Structures are given as C-alpha cells and as structure tokens.
Structure 1
Amino acid sequence: MQSSIANPTEVLQQLHWRYATKKFDSTRKIPDDVWQTLEQSLVLAPSSFGLQPWKFFVVTNPNLRQQLVEPAWGQTQVVDASHLVVFTIKKDVNTADVDRYIARMAEVQQTSIDALEGLSNMIKGFLSEPPFPLDVNEWSKRQAYIALGQFMTCAAMLGIDTCPMEGFIPAKYDEILGFAEQGYTSVVLCPAGYRAEDDRAAARPKVRYETQDVLQYI
C-alpha cells in the first residue's frame, strides 16, 4: 500500500489559502515547469468512462484576451492573470468519439480493438440508450467541471491562484476563439496566476458551514 505522499496539514493549509482571486498581479507569470505540471493536471483529469469529451484552450494571444474582457462582463482577470484556460466540451459526443477513444486505449495499453469491443459497446449503448434521461452536452459539461476541480486543487497545492468563472457569454467566446468551427463550445473559464497584493478579497475569512452541517456519516 502506498503511504501518504502529501502532508495532510499542508494540504489543508493550501485549501484554506485558495480563494477565487478577484485581482491578479499582471506582472507575474507562472514559471514554465510549474505550468507544465498544471497542464498535465488537465491531461490527467478523470472523466466518465475515461471518454474525455473536452478540450482545454489556453489563450496566450494578448489581443484575443483583451477581446474576451467585454463578454466576461468586464472582469479583468481574463487579461491580468498569467494564464487563461477556457474549458470546452466536444459538442454532441457520438459513436465516432467512442471509436477514437477505444483506438487510443488499444494503443496505450497495447491490446487489440477487438478485445475492447465490450467496453466500446457499453459506452455507445449508454450514449444512445441511457439508463436515465440524458442530454449528452449537459453530461459532457459535468465532466468538464471535474477537470476544473482537479486543475484548481493542483494549482492550490503549487501556490498558484485561480478564479473559476461562469460569468461570461459562451457564444461570444466561441465566436471570438473559433470554437464552433472545431466542434467545441465553451463551458467555464479559469484564469491562473498570482494574486495582487492589494486584492482585499484575499484577506477575507473563508465562509463555510460547519463540517457537521455539510457532511454526514450514514
């Protein structure tokens, strides 16, 4: 059994330290080695069936980022943060996407596609005849939020600030960044970088209900 790698006290300390950063220091950039770890936290994010119905766009073009401020209701985090990640989903995931995933699994795990036929049929059956009412795009969006959570937690462990943002107009982002032509649509934003020294929100106590109010053993 693998022993604990992270110190529990330090993990809690970083989770208390994390907050939705309202003002980033635009002069500070995330070092390349740290960003590469955060990049891989997205690549390694879990999803239902492992299907990964998403793509993560890191907007680096300053002119594009400036255009994204207005459809984000004027929130300047999208330009002030070191990095801006736009979480998108593949629209209308279908059997072709399953075939692509199964082919990748066969490649990575060094097995045949035929050996994975049962898994392939199960996933396709879930998408075509789900056991509950299913809007496939809403399902994909829930997967994207799993990736967002992993990204934010890993960032906190590395001392990197983040700000999850639903306050933007997805259709405008899709238009400006050309997502529709690629078959994707934006779901949520997450600027990442370093908090500004004068961000007053950083000093506010974190408001959470007591443990017993939100967690129950049964």
Structure 2
Amino acid sequence: MNNVLDKLNWRYATKMFDTSKKVSKEDLNTLLDAARLTASSYGLQPYHFYVIEDEDTRSKLRKASYDQAQITDASYLLVLANKPTFDESLVDDYIDNIIETRGVSRENLDGYSQMMKGALMGLPDAQKNSWTANQTYIALGNLMTIAAEMEIDTCPMEGFDNAQYNEILGLNDKNLNAAVVLAIGYRSEEDQTQHYPKVRYSKEEIITHI
C-alpha cells in the first residue's frame, strides 16, 4: 500500500513534457484498457475516448487550448468525450451487451432495464449532460492513478475551448462533447514544478469520520 501512496506523491500535473521520450504502444494500450474497465454508473459508459496522435490535429487543438504546450509535446493526447444527451438506446445497447456477454435472457433483464430508463430518461438535457460528463471524470481519475503506478506522467486539462474541440474532432455529429483532456508522456528535466512539495490538506482537515 505504501508503494501506491509513493506513486501518488510522485505524480503531479506535468507542465513540460520531454518530446524525445515516447510512451510505448503497449503502455498506452494498458492505460486505454484501464479506462475501458473503469466503473461507471449502472455500467453504461456514456462516453468515448479519443487518442490524438496526428500532428496537424494536435496543432489545431493547441490553438483551441490557449497555446498550452502539453497538447503537442506529450506522447499522446486523450480527449474524454461525454454524450451530452441520450435516449433509450443507451440502456438498450447495454442490455444487448449483457445478453451477449453473460448469456442471459432479455426477460431476466427487463426489470433492470426499466429501472435504468425510469431513473435516466426523464432527466432534463442539462442534467443528462452533467451526469455523463461526471462519468468521464471517474475514468480520468482511474487513468491518472494507473499511469502513476506505471511512472507515466499526465496532465489533466480543462483549459480549452470546448466548442472548438467539438468542431475540430467532428464530435457534434456523433452526439459527443469534449469534457476533459489528458496529456500523457514523460516529464522534462526542465519542468521545475516536479520539484515543488505537494500541497494538500491534512487528513484532519479534509476527512471526517462519523
């Protein structure tokens, strides 16, 4: 357990990436599997992950990110996109997946299906967007933790023009919305922020036992 805490103390939001070091495809795939295996509400996974490697696309995204260098300098750029709205197909597709994966009958899942639809379909669009966006942050946290375990650096980023990202990546036509971005790579020795002591509230200040 101490090793986990050591890795979490080791990680920081990397400001400068070493462009000469590249995260391997094998390690990237491990991170993507971690994202895919992340828990989500009801297991519905109302999102899609984009791995941006194309230099021209990343150059455009950098301009839409207030010229932050991590966008182009990291080994990979992950865009976590949520579904801003949804209909019953979100649940129906998941039920189909359960049937195929577990070999159960549709009738056995009817109650579960109706429960999910009852909880979700009546939500206003703004609340649907908020709920699905929150799911992407669960995946983001898992990605960052697994990356730290692998001593791969990351920088989570919300500082970008959401509408421009959606246009550049063609997300609007796919009922997707760029919720948050994660730059993945290896820290530069010149990044002085890696040497800053980590600033966090003490357990006494931030945790209450009841």
TM range, normalised to the smaller chain? over 0.9
Of residues 182, 186, 194, the one that matches 2:178 is 186
Change (3 A) 1:133 1:72: closer
Q: Distance in 1 between matches of 2:132 and 2:91?
A: 13
Q: Secondary structure, in 3 states, of the residue corresponding to 1:216?
A: coil
| Aligned ranges 1:23-172 → 2 under 5 Å | 23-129=16-122, 135-172=127-164
Q: Distance in 2 between matches of 1:19 and 1:115?
A: 46
**Contact 2:40-2:138 at 8 Å conserved across structures:** yes
Change (3 A) 1:114 1:48: same
Report % sequence identity: 40
- Structure 1: gaps of 5 or more residues: 1-7
Using the TM superposition, give the Cα deviation of residue 185 of structure 1 relative to its aligned residue in structure 2, in angstroms.
Answer: 0.7
Runs of 4+ in structure 1 deviating by more than 3 angstroms, as ranges, are: none
- Structure 2: gaps of 5 or more residues: none
Q: Distance in 2 between matches of 1:54 and 1:153?
A: 19
For normalisation by structure 1, the TM-score amounts to 0.93
Using the TM superposition, give the Cα deviation of residue 134 of structure 1 relative to its aligned residue in structure 2, in angstroms.
Answer: 7.2
Using the TM superposition, give the Cα deviation of residue 210 of structure 1 relative to its aligned residue in structure 2, in angstroms.
Answer: 1.0
**Contact 2:64-2:165 at 8 Å conserved across structures:** yes
Q: Distance in 1 between matches of 2:172 and 2:106?
A: 31
**Contact 2:22-2:185 at 8 Å conserved across structures:** yes
Q: How many residues align structurally?
A: 210
Q: Distance in 2 between matches of 1:70 and 1:32?
A: 26
Q: What is the alpha-carbon root mean square deviation over aligned residues?
A: 1.4
Q: Distance in 2 between matches of 1:40 and 1:128?
A: 29
Q: Distance in 1 between matches of 2:203 and 2:126?
A: 33
1:206 aligned residue: 198
Q: Distance in 2 between matches of 1:76 and 1:25?
A: 11
Using the TM superposition, give the Cα deviation of residue 91 of structure 1 relative to its aligned residue in structure 2, in angstroms.
Answer: 2.6
Q: Distance in 2 between matches of 1:114 and 1:62?
A: 49
For normalisation by structure 2, the TM-score amounts to 0.97
Q: Distance in 2 between matches of 1:133 and 1:36?
A: 33
**Contact 2:84-2:125 at 8 Å conserved across structures:** no
Using the TM superposition, give the Cα deviation of residue 128 of structure 1 relative to its aligned residue in structure 2, in angstroms.
Answer: 2.7
Using the TM superposition, give the Cα deviation of residue 129 of structure 1 relative to its aligned residue in structure 2, in angstroms.
Answer: 3.9
